[in-house]
Every structure is written in structure tokens, then in C-alpha cells.
Chain A
Amino acid sequence: MQAISDERLIGSDHLLELSNVQKHFGPLHVLKDINLTVDRGEVVVVIGPSGSGKSTLCRAINRLEPIDSGTVKVDGEPLPAEGKALARLRSDVGMVFQSFNLFSHKTALENVTLGPVKVRGLRKAEADERARELLDRVGLAEKADAMPAQLSGGQQQRVAIARALAMEPKLLLFDEPTSALDPEMISEVLDVMVELAGSGMTMIVVSHEMGFARKAAHRVVFMDEGEIVETATPADFFDNPTSRRAKSFLSKILSH
């Protein structure tokens, strides 16, 4: 009895479950038998050398990239193949990109309201009001009517975060959200992400920002050559990495 209820408890806590996920690009084996579970409210930082498959992992989670085999379950539901059902489920998984990818012909506010109005069917007035709250939350209340080209990189990325939040996602994916930013803008974006993590949002963050990982992450996942090599708490991972590959990777990024 005890075992069953434990299992149920754990089962219901898993927001994301990847099992035996395989992905090839032609002959290149990019994701090698990935198994990963993320609990509700957990913040996981994914770290690893260039080309190790971190972006592909993120994109596989919301099926921007189809996988060869294995399953991706979000909140217990397996991701369907292409189609309306996929689009709906995908809207539960927010994504923030390295290059922001704001819709360049729409204002900051319209970027945030597009999804709620078109996908969730919210009334425009209601969507506007909520979008303004979100822009306020990321510190951009006064930029609602600005076009993306009129915003700095850091501001664009914060709008992109607001756009993702507007869908009220169950899970947020960040693929190197600060790598394209000038140093002085990195912290304004990380501050927003730390605040989000503190509010209980489930997040998977591909980032080499060690400060963020130590402050906000519950777990660090280290990937190399398409495999998850090591999983540990941030303190353990950065101070006492166990695998040889993680040690060598850390010595490289720390020597800069």
C-alpha cells in the first residue's frame, strides 16, 4: 500500500517526463537515450559544451523538433504528432530563445497578447490588461507601444519572457536567454528569471550563467555528446563534479 501511494504521489509531481528519447540528424546521433523528469516548481539548469544537444533537447520538449523514438510527457499527457492537439499542448510549454524572436511587425504589447487572443480565445481588452501587468512585472510597463527594433536586447528578451508567460504555461524553456546580450543587460534578464523561479514556475534553463544556477536552480544537468552525463545540485556540480567530462568542461569555462 505504502509503495503504491508513494508512486502516485511522485507520479503526480512529475510535470515533465522524457523517456528513452532518441534523435538523429542524418548520421549524427544528437540525443542519445535521454531520460529526464522534472517536478512541478523545479528549476533545472542544463549545461554542456557547444553541440552537445542542449538546444535540440529543448526543442524536442515542445516538438519544434520531432524525435525519432521515445516519449515526451507534459503533465502526464504524451505529446501528439503534428496538428491542432499538438499546437494546444505546445501552448502549455513556453519557450524563450537566444535571439528573442519577437514578432518585428507588432508592438511589445501585441507580441504579448497575440497568443492569449488567438490561441486561448481571450477578449482583446482582457488580454491587453493582463499583458500590461506582465510587462510591468518584467519592468517594461512604459514600453508597451514600442516596436521590437526600438528596444534594447535586454528589453526585447524581457518582452519575450512576458510573451511566454502570457500563455500561463506549465513549463518554461529558456535556450541560452542571455548569450546574445551585452554584459550590462544580462543581469536585468537574469533578475526576472530569478524572480520567476522564486514564484514557483517550473523552468528548464540552458545557460552557462553559474550565478543564476547557484541562486535559482534546484538541479544542474550536464550534457555532452547527446548524453546526460551528470545530474547534481548546483553546489555539488560546480564544486565537486564527479565525471571526467564535467570536470574538463568546468575547467574550460572557469579559466575564462
Chain B
Amino acid sequence: MDFVIEQRTVILEGFWMTVRLTVLSGVLSLLFGTVLAVMRVCPIPPLRWAGAFYVTVVRNTPLTLVFVFSTFGLPRLEIRFSFVTFAIIALTVYTSSFVCEVVRSGINSVAAGEIEAARAIGLPFGQTLGQVVLPQAFRAVIPPLTSVFIALTKNTSIAVAFSVAEATSILRRLQNQDASATFPLLLTTAAGYIVLTLFLSFSFSRLERRVAVAR
């Protein structure tokens, strides 16, 4: 345990990277996933097909493969970013497909009559979506979105294999330095993930209560 305390700054730095990866890819996934969900319900068939195709392909690909495409595939196309950026791209591409399906189920839960009422007062498609459909859809899907973001938090650990110094890779490195500290290091790292995801769950359930609509 002494070794863990001794190395606390390194461990904390690892978790700080985990938090950054989670927050950045989380926000980007939420945006991109929502765009995908809107594509999947919009009245233009080619956009619907594109959305469905994306989700089918990406959701069924292992995250590690998505990482491989991002970190080794993109540089081949002369696209050069830092490993962190590639990790964020991979996590966003992957998580967006899950966000899309969750948001789409939320959209489908909005009463058809309300959408009709919005159209009847003259709101065009975009405003019907922005004013009536999405606000209600998001309220309905906060619990399943929480699960998606918890999965994302843990998925950031895949970045370990791609040279990003997040929590799990720090664990590996320190473990190599002092093999006897393996168990305390594992426990500390696991506890760190639990703290992060509990904080996430707690924030989202507070958000849920705050925006709940009396029914």
C-alpha cells in the first residue's frame, strides 16, 4: 500500500486522463449520437439509411478494432493527431452509435399527438424537434444514457493499448516497477473507476429528478 501512496500523483494523473477522455468523448458522442438519431427519424430516406448503416456497422464492431482503425488507419490517410486525439475519435465513433439508439428510443416515446400539435401551430421540422421532441426524449432516456456513459468511462481503458497514459496504463506501468504492489494497485484502480462512475450515476439521477415532468 505504501507504494500506492508514494505513487499517488502518477495514479491521479492517470485518472485525470481517464476523466478527460470520458468527458470529451462523452460530450462529442452525445452531440453526434443525437445527430444520428435525428437522421434515423427524419423524413429523408437516404439520411435514414445512412444513420441505420452507421449504427449497424459501428455498434457491432469491437471497440478495440475501432481503436485500431483510428490509431493506425487514420495516419495512413495522412491524418496525424496525438494518441489522445485518436483515442477520443475512436471512443466517440463507438459510443455515438449507442447514444443514437438510446436517444432514438426516447424520440419514439414522445406522444405522436404532441408532434402533430407542434406541426399544427406551424413549427417546421427542426423546431418541432428542438422544442417538443428532443427535450422530452432526453428526459425519458437519462437512465439508459447513464449506462452508456458508465460503459464509456470503463472503455477509456482500451486506450492503454494505444499509448495513452490513462488510469489502467499507469496501473500496468507501476505494476512492472514493483510486482509486490500488484494487489493494492489493482484495488486502488478499481476503486478509482467506481468513484468516477458513481459520481456519474449520482449526477445523472440528480439531473433526472430536476428535469422530471409531473405526469
Q: Is B114 a contact partner of A167 (Cβ separation < 8 A)?
A: no
Q: Which of B10-18, B87-95, B117-125, B186-194 contacts A (4 or more CB under 8 A)?
A: B117-125
Interface string of B95-131 (1 = CB under 8 A from A): 0000000000000000101101111111110010001
Q: Is B214 a contact partner of A147 (Cβ separation < 8 A)?
A: yes
Q: Is B122 a contact partner of A149 (Cβ separation < 8 A)?
A: no
Bound together, the chains give a CA A91 to CA B119 distance in angstroms of 8
Bound together, the chains give a CA A163 to CA B214 distance in angstroms of 20
Q: Which of B56-64, B69-77, B132-140, B169-177 contacts A (4 or more CB under 8 A)?
A: B132-140
Q: Is A149 a contact partner of B215 (Cβ separation < 8 A)?
A: yes
B179 at interface, CB cutoff 8 A: no
Q: How many A-B residue pairs have CB under 8 A?
A: 76
Closest Cβ–Cβ distance, residue A93 to chain B (whole Å): 8
- Dominant SS at the B interface? helix
Chain B residue at minimal CB-CB distance from A65:
B116
Q: Is B121 a contact partner of A167 (Cβ separation < 8 A)?
A: yes
Q: Is A118 a contact partner of B215 (Cβ separation < 8 A)?
A: no
A243 at interface, CB cutoff 8 A: no
Q: Given known contacts A149-B215, A150-B214, is B122 in contact with A90 (CB within 8 Å)? A: yes
A43 at interface, CB cutoff 8 A: no
Q: Which of B113, B121, B127, B139 meets A99, CB within 8 Å?
A: B113
Which one of B116, B120, B214 has the greatest number of beta carbons of chain A within 10 Å? B120
A97 at interface, CB cutoff 8 A: yes
Bound together, the chains give a CA A99 to CA B120 distance in angstroms of 14
Q: Is B121 a contact partner of A115 (Cβ separation < 8 A)?
A: yes
Q: Which of B113, B122, B124, B136 meets A105, CB within 8 Å?
A: B136
Q: Is A90 a contact partner of B111 (Cβ separation < 8 A)?
A: no
Count how many chain A residues have C-beta atoms less than 8 Å from C-beta atoms of the other chain: 31
Q: Given the complex, which residues of B lie within 8 Å of A100, measured CB to CB?
A: 113
Chain B residue at minimal CB-CB distance from A173:
B120
Q: Which of B113, B116, B119, B123 meets A118, CB within 8 Å?
A: B123
Bound together, the chains give a CA A103 to CA B128 distance in angstroms of 11
Q: Is A104 a contact partner of B215 (Cβ separation < 8 A)?
A: yes
Closest Cβ–Cβ distance, residue A99 to chain B (whole Å): 5
Bound together, the chains give a CA A115 to CA B120 distance in angstroms of 10
A62 at interface, CB cutoff 8 A: yes
Q: Given the complex, which residues of A lie within 8 Å of B215, measured CB to CB?
A: 104, 149
Bound together, the chains give a CA A99 to CA B115 distance in angstroms of 13
Q: Given known contacts A118-B127, A149-B213, is B113 in contact with A167 (CB within 8 Å)? A: no
Q: Is B120 a contact partner of A62 (Cβ separation < 8 A)?
A: yes
Q: Is A94 a contact partner of B131 (Cβ separation < 8 A)?
A: no
A101 at interface, CB cutoff 8 A: yes
Q: Is A90 a contact partner of B136 (Cβ separation < 8 A)?
A: no
Bound together, the chains give a CA A92 to CA B127 distance in angstroms of 17
A84 at interface, CB cutoff 8 A: yes
Closest Cβ–Cβ distance, residue A227 to chain B (whole Å): 25
Q: Given the complex, which residues of A lie within 8 Å of B131, measured CB to CB?
A: 103, 114, 118
Given contacts A97-B113, A104-B114, 14 further A-B contacts (CB under 8 A): A90-B122, A94-B121, A103-B117, A104-B215, A114-B123, A114-B131, A115-B122, A118-B123, A147-B213, A147-B214, A150-B214, A160-B117, A164-B120, A167-B122
- Residues of A whose CB lies within 8 Å of any CB of B are 62, 64, 82, 84, 87-88, 90-95, 97, 99-105, 114-115, 118-119, 147, 149-150, 160, 163-164, 167
Query: 6 closest pairs, A vs B, by CB?
Result: A91-B122, A115-B121, A101-B113, A101-B117, A95-B120, A119-B122
